[in-house]
Amino acid sequence: QQQVKQSPQSLIVQKGGISIINCAYENTAFDYFPWYQQFPGKGPALLIAIRPDVSEKKEGRFTISFNKSAKQFSLHIMDSQPGDSATYFCAAGTSGSRLTFGEGTQLTVNP
Amino acid sequence: GAGVSQTPSNKVTEKGKYVELRCDPISGHTALYWYRQSLGQGPEFLIYFQGTGAADDSGLPNDRFFAVRPEGSVSTLKIQRTERGDSAVYLCASSLSSGSTGELFFGEGSRLTVL
């Protein structure tokens, strides 16, 4: 019930391309779905987050698409840049409480 | 400092020893979390404090792990009789009160290696 499944495990994209990472969850009580970005040797940092009352949220080049009936959500990175190369984690939880993280996607954007 | 501070950044110890890891959250953040991250994995929840009390300690793997936050600010994660399987990066995060958006601010972690 607490699991969050993330795919793919790794992703290689050319500069300017679109990066897409997918996540699925089981617990219907989850009401907060953030994406975190982590660079080597650093802690994860919030990138963008969505709540289940909307189906899409866009911030700059980053978009979350949310499908409540399918219990799935995804991160799209438009015009991917080499500086976007990092590990991305989806997560799910309830506000103010624990977050359950996916296993991560290592994104490499080639110049 | 402005962010979450964790010390030590690296700790190497021998199997069976006792270890303490410290977390200094962002000033004014009442919620504090400990996560453990193994190589190539996502952060795994350990314990969550709201103020001084542990609101959820269901992620602690066994009774060798214990955490305190006596004054509602700094927290210490304590690991007794360390085992090689405890080797990981221990991440601390803080956030505003439970009524917030839920954003967690993470420190850079304490890398624990048990030989």
Best A99, A105, A106 member to test B by mutation, with max B CBs in 10 Å, is A99
pLDDT in tens, chain B (115 residues): 589 999 999 999 999 999 999 999 999 898 999 999 999 999 999 999 998 998 889 999 999 999 999 998 999 999 999 999 999 999 999 988 654 456 889 999 999 999 9
Tens of pLDDT along B26-58?
998 989 999 999 999 999 999 999 989 988 899
Pairing, β A86-93 against β B53-56 = unpaired
Please report the pLDDT score of residue B55 as a whole number.
87
Cβ partners under 8 Å of residue A21, min gap 6: A6, A7, A8, A11, A35, A74, A75, A88, A90, A105, A107
Tens of pLDDT along A74-94?
999 999 999 999 999 999 988
d(CA B81, nearest CA chain A) in Å: 26
The rounded distance, in Å, linking the Cα atoms of A103 and A33 is 15
Pairing, β A86-93 against β A105-110 = antiparallel
The rounded distance, in Å, linking the Cα atoms of A42 and A58 is 25
- The answer to whether A95 contacts B107, with C-beta atoms less than 8 Å apart, is no
Percentage helix, strand, coil for chain B under 3-state DSSP, each rounded to 5 = 5, 50, 50
- The answer to whether B99 contacts A89, with C-beta atoms less than 8 Å apart, is no
- The answer to whether A34 contacts B93, with C-beta atoms less than 8 Å apart, is no
d(CA B46, nearest CA chain A) in Å: 9
Please report the pLDDT score of residue A98 as a whole number.
85
SS3 B18: coil
Query: In the predicted model, what is the mean pLDDT of chain A?
Result: 94
Best B7, B92, B103, B108 member to test A by mutation, with max A CBs in 10 Å, is B103
Please report the pLDDT score of residue B27 as a whole number.
92
Write the residue in B31, B98, B108 that is nearest to A43 by C-beta. B108
